[in-house]
């Protein structure tokens, strides 16, 4: 197909897809690859683990601030130039992160890395949607979805292996060859479309950018640190919540009044796009929320080492890797909303299956629900993106993909915050209930205490020490039982979220082929 800015050149769209996916995969991978390295980073840089978590928070905040203004930045700088600047900035920042001698410098370089990487997801999605003809967009989104879904799952495994085998610094150095390859391919195969070449960014909406940066930055920090400081009992969370709400309202008012807004909110007039954004936010909520619970379950309750826990979580990526290309190929043959509905129902069922597991669950009990969930994610991501962007004009594609990706990431942040809070609160409720039934009048509790006491005595403990140790062991049993009950509660809630958003399918409309083609040209 002829490409803009190069009419005599025939570029295979799959080469374009590979070019942009290098950068996207690298950027999404870095949202999770550092997680398992935090204790090593803290020890190496003479900091606490809590202080080292700012290496995660700073990246997410900078990433979230840049995401929604990517469409405007692409018009201002040119899409190809912005893509090359983002990849270059991300690669250089990765190198600097690996060299960082102190934690403050690492946090600074992570901010730069997050800001440079924030453009990569929406830019790659917009490039893919335009590189492929409308009838092949499902295939393109299937390929794009692989990076978005598989990379966060692969991150902890790769991060654990690199940290254990080499050093935490290699978690960042691994980005350098990928970034160089992406930069070379972008330079060779990607061109700006004519409408971007003709567009003029005009005056810079400094107020809009400022309002948005403060609103999203405050919200991201609040969600990341809320559980640590007990949410609204903390003055910091109260201030962050007020600042986020106030600046977000100011941002909306500013964008509705501005002649050249940094984010075009008019795209929400399309009911299909609005419903799709809500659906993607909820999918991000459940996906990232469940990805937090399962590693904790495996490591703290079942005793899996970190690398083995990462391997045990890989079936979800395997299922997605198989399903997404297949769904992308089949999407043009049927109603995408039916694929999407099937994906929501199957995802709800997998959450229900997780809620039925216990402390006796083995590897295969986790394998099959995750594998099937990976298949369901193919049924979710590919049709959802294709439907949501189906009627968006090319001139608005960058703006629309920026909003779409931002809301997926914010949904994930809300999901992580909600899941950790719910699990903690429900665990305390269950622990209080279980403790109330453990007393001398309960024959099962008395028998268990006596068994623990006999075991400690057999290992050489004195009578008084054996009694104290038996109560400590019983307390540990109660805490594990309370934790598993709280996880069951949370997975049931996540199941209900998937079921609850099903009615949004009736709001979305399947654009006829003629309308899609018209919108695409």
CB atoms within 10 A of CB 78: 18
Position 517 pLDDT exceeds 60: no
> Are 117 and 27 spatial neighbours (Cβ–Cβ below 8 Å)?
yes
d(CA 373, CA 351): 8
Confidence at residue 267, expressed as pLDDT on a 0 to 100 scale? 83
Q: In the chain, pLDDT over 70 holds for what percent of residues?
A: 87
Q: Is 392 helix (H, G, I), strand (E, B) or coil?
A: coil
Are 439 and 381 found together in one domain?
Answer: no
CA-based diameter of the chain, in Å?
89
Q: How far lies 130's CA from each of 291, 333, 397, 494, in Å?
A: 32, 20, 9, 34
Over the chain, what is the mean pLDDT? 80
pLDDT of residue 346: 93
Residues 307 and 351 in one domain: yes
What are the pLDDT digits (tens) for 85-116?
A: 999 999 999 999 989 888 889 889 988 998 88
Predicted confidence (pLDDT) per residue in 272-286, tens digit: 888 999 999 998 888
Domain end point (choices 213, 242, 261):
261
The sign of the torsion formed by the CA atoms of 211, 214, 216, 218 equals: negative
Least-confidence region, from 47-51, 72-76, 92-96, 512-516 = 512-516
309 to 160, 169, 301, 313: CA distances (angstroms): 10, 22, 11, 6
463-500 vs 271-296: helix crossing angle, rounded to 10: 160
pLDDT of residue 260: 77
Q: Residue 494 pLDDT more than 90?
A: yes
pLDDT reading at 133 higher than 60: yes
Q: DSSP 3-state assignment of 437?
A: coil
Give CA–CA dist 421/138, Å, rounded: 37
Residues 451 and 504 both lie in one domain: no
Residues 306 and 435 in one domain: no
Same domain, yes or no, for 404 and 292?
A: yes
- Two structure tokens written together for 277: 């954004």
How far does Cα 171 stand from its chain's mean position? 18
Average pLDDT (6-15) is 64
Query: What pLDDT band is residue 344 in, cutting at 50, 70 and 90?
Result: very high
Q: What is the full DSSP assignment across 38-93? A: HHHHHHHTT--HHHHTHHHHHHHHHHHHHGGGHHHHHHHH-HHHHHHHHHHHHHHH
At 347 the pLDDT is 92
- Of the chain, the percentage scoring pLDDT greater than 90 comes to 10
Q: Is the pLDDT of residue 343 over 80?
A: yes
Residue 5: its pLDDT value, please?
Answer: 44
Backbone φ and ψ of 9, nearest 5°: -105, 140
SS3 label, residue 7: strand
Residues 130 and 72 in one domain: yes
Q: Residue 2, SS3? A: strand
How distant is the alpha carbon of residue 347 from its chain centre? 16
In angstroms, rounded to a whole number, what is the distance separating the alpha carbons of residues 277 and 216?
Answer: 17
Give the chain's length.
521
pLDDT tens sequence across 349-390: 999 999 888 888 888 888 899 899 888 888 888 888 888 887
Q: Do 93 and 106 share a domain, yes or no?
A: yes
What sign results for the dihedral spanned by CA atoms 176, 181, 184, 189? negative
Residue 311 near residue 157 (C-beta atoms within 8 A): yes
- Give φ, ψ of 6 to 5 degrees: -155, 65
Report pLDDT for 306. Answer: 64
User: What is the domain count for the chain?
Assistant: 4
Q: Is 128 exposed, middle or buried (0-12, 13-18, 19+ CB in 10 A)?
A: buried
Q: What is the pLDDT of residue 196?
A: 65
Mean pLDDT of 6-18: 68
Say whether both 47 and 175 belong to one domain: yes
108 with 216, same domain?
no
Give the position of tokens 């950018």: 209
Exposed/middle/buried for residue 350 (C-beta within 10 Å: 0-12, 13-18, 19+) = buried
- Out of 368-382, 396-410, 426-440, 467-481, which region has the weakest mean confidence (pLDDT)? 467-481
Q: For residue 1, name the pLDDT band (cuts at 50, 70, 90).
A: very low
Q: 156 and 14 share a domain?
A: yes
Residues spanned by the domain of 221: 205-261
> How sure is the predictor about 490, in pLDDT bands with cuts at 50, 70 and 90?
very high
Q: Are residues 179 and 216 located together in one domain of the fold? A: no
Tell me, what's the pLDDT at 202? Answer: 55
* Pair 507, 412 in one domain: yes
Among candidate residues 261, 282, 308, the one where a domain is terminated? 261
Give residue 305's region: left, alpha or beta (phi > 0; psi -120 to 50): beta
Q: Over 60: is that where the pLDDT of 518 sits? A: no
Cα separation of 136 and 116, whole Å? Answer: 29
Residue 239 pLDDT grade (very low, low, confident, very high; cuts 50, 70, 90): very high
Domain end, chosen from 182, 202, 222, is at 202
Q: In this structure, what CATH number is given to the domain that contains residue 506?
A: 1.20.1250.20
Residue 388 near residue 283, CB atoms below 8 Å: no
Environment class of residue 1 by beta-carbon count within 10 Å: exposed (0-12), middle (13-18) or buried (19+)?
Answer: exposed
């Amino acid at each position: 197909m002829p490409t803009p800015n190069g009419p005599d050149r025939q570029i295979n769209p799959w080469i374009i897809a590979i070019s942009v996916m290098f950068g996207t995969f690298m950027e999404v991978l870095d949202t999770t690859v550092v997680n398992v390295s935090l204790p090593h980073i803290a020890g190496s840089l003479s900091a606490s683990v809590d202080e080292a978590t700012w290496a995660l928070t700073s990246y997410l905040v900078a990433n979230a601030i840049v995401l929604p203004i990517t469409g405007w930045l692409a018009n201002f700088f040119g899409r190809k130039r912005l893509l090359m600047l983002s990849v270059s900035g991300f690669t250089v920042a990765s190198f600097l992160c690996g060299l960082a001698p102190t934690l403050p410098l690492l946090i600074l370089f992570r901010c730069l890395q997050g800001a440079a990487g924030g453009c990569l997801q929406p830019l790659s999605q917009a490039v893919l949607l335009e590189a492929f003809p409308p009838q092949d967009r499902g295939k393109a989104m299937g390929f794009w979805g692989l990076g978005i879904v598989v990379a966060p799952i692969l991150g902890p495994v790769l991060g654990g292996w690199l940290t254990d085998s080499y050093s935490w610094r290699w978690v960042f150095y691994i980005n350098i060859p990928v970034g160089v390859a992406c930069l070379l391919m972008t330079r060779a195969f990607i061109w700006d479309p004519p409408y971007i070449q003709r567009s003029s960014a005009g005056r810079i909406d400094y107020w809009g950018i400022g309002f948005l940066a403060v609103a999203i930055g405050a919200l991201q920090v609040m969600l990341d640190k809320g559980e640590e400081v007990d949410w609204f009992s903390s003055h910091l969370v109260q201030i962050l919540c007020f600042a986020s709400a106030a600046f977000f309202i100011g941002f909306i008012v500013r964008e509705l009044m501005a002649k050249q807004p940094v984010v075009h909110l008019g795209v929400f007039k399309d009911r299909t796009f609005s419903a799709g954004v809500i659906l993607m936010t909820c999918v991000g909520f459940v996906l990232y929320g469940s990805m937090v619970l399962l590693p904790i379950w495996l490591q703290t309750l079942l005793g899996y080492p970190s690398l083995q826990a990462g391997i045990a979580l890989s079936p979800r990526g395997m299922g997605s890797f198989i399903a997404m290309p297949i769904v992308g190929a089949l999407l043009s043959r049927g109603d995408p909303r039916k694929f999407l509905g099937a994906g929501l129902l199957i995802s709800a069922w997998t959450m229900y299956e997780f809620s039925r597991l216990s402390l006796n669950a083995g590897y295969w009990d986790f394998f099959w629900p995750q594998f099937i969930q990976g298949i369901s994610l193919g049924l979710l991501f590919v049709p959802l993106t294709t439907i949501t962007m189906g009627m968006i004009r090319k001139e608005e594609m960058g703006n629309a993909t920026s909003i779409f990706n931002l809301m997926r990431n914010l949904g994930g942040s809300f999901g992580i915050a909600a899941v950790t809070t719910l699990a903690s609160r429900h665990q305390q409720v269950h622990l209080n209930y279980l403790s109330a039934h453990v007393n001398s009048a309960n024959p099962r509790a008395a028998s268990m205490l006596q068994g623990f006491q006999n075991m400690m005595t057999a290992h050489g403990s004195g009578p008084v020490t054996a009694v104290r140790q038996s109560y400590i062991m019983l307390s540990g049993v109660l805490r594990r039982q309370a934790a598993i009950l709280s996880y069951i509660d949370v997975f049931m809630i996540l199941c209900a979220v998937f079921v609850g958003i099903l009615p949004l399918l009736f709001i979305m409309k399947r654009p006829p082929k003629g309308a899609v083609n018209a919108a695409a040209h």
